[in-house]
Amino acid sequence: MITLNINGKDMQVDADPSTPILWALRDNLNMTGTKFGCGAALCGACTVHLGGQPVRSCVTPISAAAGQKITTIEAMESDKVGKAVQAAWVKLDVPQCGYCQSGQIMSATALLRTNKSPSDAEIDNAMSGNICRCGTYQRIRAAIKDAAKTIA
C-alpha cells in the first residue's frame, strides 16, 4: 500500500510504485475527472498538480508523489483560482467536446497561481503542452485572461 495525498486527503493505493498517477486515480480511486489522452505526456489531458506544479499524470509514477500533494480537477470547484478558471470557461463557452478540458483547466490554474496577469505569449507558453482537438485555443486564452481579472 502506498499513501498518496490527493486533494488534501491521505488515500491508500494498492499498486506497484511504478504505476502512473493517472491509473492510480482512475482505476484504484475511481476519480475519473483526470482523462487519459495519449499515454505519452504529449497531449496534456491527464494534467494534475504535483506539489503545486502541473505534471502529466500518465507518465508520472506514484513513487514520484511520495510526500507531495496531488491536486486533481475534482478539487478545483473549492479552489479560488480553480473556480475563477472554471467560471471563465463556462462564461466564454470554451469547451466543444470537452475531453481535454480538465487538463486545460489544471494548466491554466497553475499559470494563474504564479502569474496573475499573463501576456498572450505567456499563456501560449504555459498551455503549449495541452492539445485541444476542437481548436478552441482563442477561447482558452480569452478565458484565462477573464479569470485573471476575477482573481486580481
Whether residue 24 contacts residue 13, with contact meaning beta carbons closer than 8 Å, is answered with yes
User: Is the per-residue pLDDT at 72 higher than 90?
Assistant: yes
Q: What is the pLDDT of residue 107?
A: 98
pLDDT confidence of residue 23: 97
Residue 152 has pLDDT above 90, yes or no: no
Q: What's the pTM?
A: 0.95
- State how far the Cα of 74 lies from the Cα of 93, in Å rounded to an integer: 20
Is the pLDDT at 66 greater than 90? The verdict is: no
Please report the domains of the chain, with CATH numbers, ordered by start residue.
2-74 (3.10.20.30), 76-151 (1.10.150.120)
Q: Is 114 exposed, middle or buried (0-12, 13-18, 19+ CB in 10 A)?
A: exposed
Cβ-contact 124, 132 below 8 angstroms? no
Evaluate if residue 98 carries a pLDDT over 90: no
Q: What count of other Cβ atoms lies within 10 Å of the Cβ of residue 106?
A: 29
| 67 C-beta neighbours (distance < 10 Å), count | 8
Three-state secondary-structure class, residue 100:
coil
Question: pLDDT tens across 101-146, in order?
Answer: 999 999 999 999 999 999 999 999 999 999 999 999 999 999 999 9
